[in-house]
Amino acid sequence: MNVLILGANGFIGSHLTEAILANTSWHVYAMDLAQDKIEKSLNHARFHFQCGDITKQKDWIYSHIRTCDVVLPLVAIATPALYVQDPLRVFELDFEANLDIIRQCVQCNKRLIFPSTSEVYGMCTDGEFDEEKSHLVTGPINKERWIYSTSKQLLDRLIYAYGKQQGLSYSLFRPFNWYGPRLDNIFNPKPGGSRVLTQFIGNILRGENIYLVNGGAQQRCFTYIDDGIDALLRIIENQNNCAHNKIFNIGSPFENISIRQLAEMLSQLIIEFYPTFAAKAKAVKLIDVEAKAYYGEGYQDVALRVPAIQRAKEWLGWEPKVNIKTGLRATLDFYLGV
């Protein structure tokens, strides 16, 4: 099988590339702007990498959609601070650039595996979000945070419609706070410059305080990258067509913790297992901050976000295996250079 990965140097793309090369006989064709996260795979005989911008290298992309069996367009901005600061860029990249690729898949009759997001459920009040039943709830237009959620939602709806009306073969997957090595750059000192886990690790290393937005009572189901990749491999493999034209939540309902707990757990782990950084972790203070002050007026938050995973269990035979302490240790080993 030939797999096309656009955004192979990203967090998900780089882990997926490694896993495919290690565990399957598939070829990976790939494009990204940079190659620092996939350095190890560059010389692999089944890895065919092109450095480039997916919004510009149309000829390369179209010709590879034609020759590959399955397409994963993983390029997107996925950092909430940027949804608020630059919603147009989010729309242009996450929506417009990907729409073009989706249409090429329809035209060339290629299987599409597309990253939706847990964010499509927005502020849904269900205790567990169900792919086929839960309502997708966002805020008013002046809350720009929802540009990402609604861009992704409209793409989900288009893909679904292409499936029904024009025979597109697709799978949509919704990551729920996947984390692990190579998530974001912890040296980005901008508040909100990266997602929460890497933000907090960076805060501790720089000797800064940790800011808990609105007190940090909001909860997330943190899902270790290896579990996410395990699900993705099953979706790509598509045994007996098990992933055909389906939507899957891929998250760990068992690891539902508050952002305050995450900050506390991180500090404790560093103090216990990484003596070089223990003094820094001990010195960190947890400071409550209003969302408006941290992200600006355009931000709204999600209080509780738990995936229903029955469909992934039933169709893919998948469930998450890595508990949060193990996943955080592996992530810290990577970022703290152990």
From candidates 15, 27, 182, 220, binder to ligand UGA by CB under 6 A: 220
Token pair 């990249």: residue = 93
Rg (CA), the chain: 19
* Nearer CB in complex with ligand UGA: 81/106: 81
Closest CA to 197 of 324, 86, 15, 76: 324
CB-CB neighbours of 49 under 10 Å: 20
- Kindly state the smallest distance separating residue 43's Cβ from ligand UGA, in Å: 31
Nearest approach, Cβ of residue 98 and ligand UGA (Å): 14
Residue pair 110/235 in contact (Cβ under 8 Å)? The answer is: no
Shortest reach from residue 322's CB to ligand UGA, in Å: 16
DSSP labels for 11-29? HHHHHHHHHHHHH---EEE
Binder among 218, 256, 267, 331 for ligand UGA (CB under 6 A): 218
Span near ligand UGA by CB under 6 A; candidates 2-10, 40-48, 136-144, 211-219? 211-219
CB 183 within 8 A of CB 11: yes
Stretches 94-102, 132-140, 170-178, 231-239: which one binds ligand UGA (CB under 6 A)? Answer: 170-178
* Binding pattern for the stretch 240-279 against ligand UGA, x by CB under 6 A and - elsewhere: -------------------x--------------------
Distance of CA 326 to the CA centre of its chain: 19
| Distance from chain centroid for Cα 183 | 9
List the structure tokens of 125. Answer: 């009040």
Q: Considering only residues 195, 234, 246, 280, which one is a binding residue for ligand UGA as defined by CB under 6 A?
A: 195
Window of 133-141, 175-183, 274-282, 309-317 that interacts with ligand UGA by CB under 6 A? 175-183
Separation between Cα atoms, residue 51 and residue 30, nearest integer Å: 8
What residues from 137 to 166 belong to the interface with ligand UGA (CB under 6 A)?
148
Q: CB of residue 182 vs ligand UGA: minimum separation in angstroms?
A: 14
Sign of the CA dihedral running 47, 51, 56, 57:
negative
Q: Exposed, middle or buried: residue 65 (CB in 10 Å: 0-12, 13-18, 19+)?
A: buried
Can you give the binding site for ligand UGA, defined by CB under 6 A? 78, 80, 117-119, 148, 175-178, 192, 195-196, 199, 211-213, 216, 218, 220, 259, 301-302
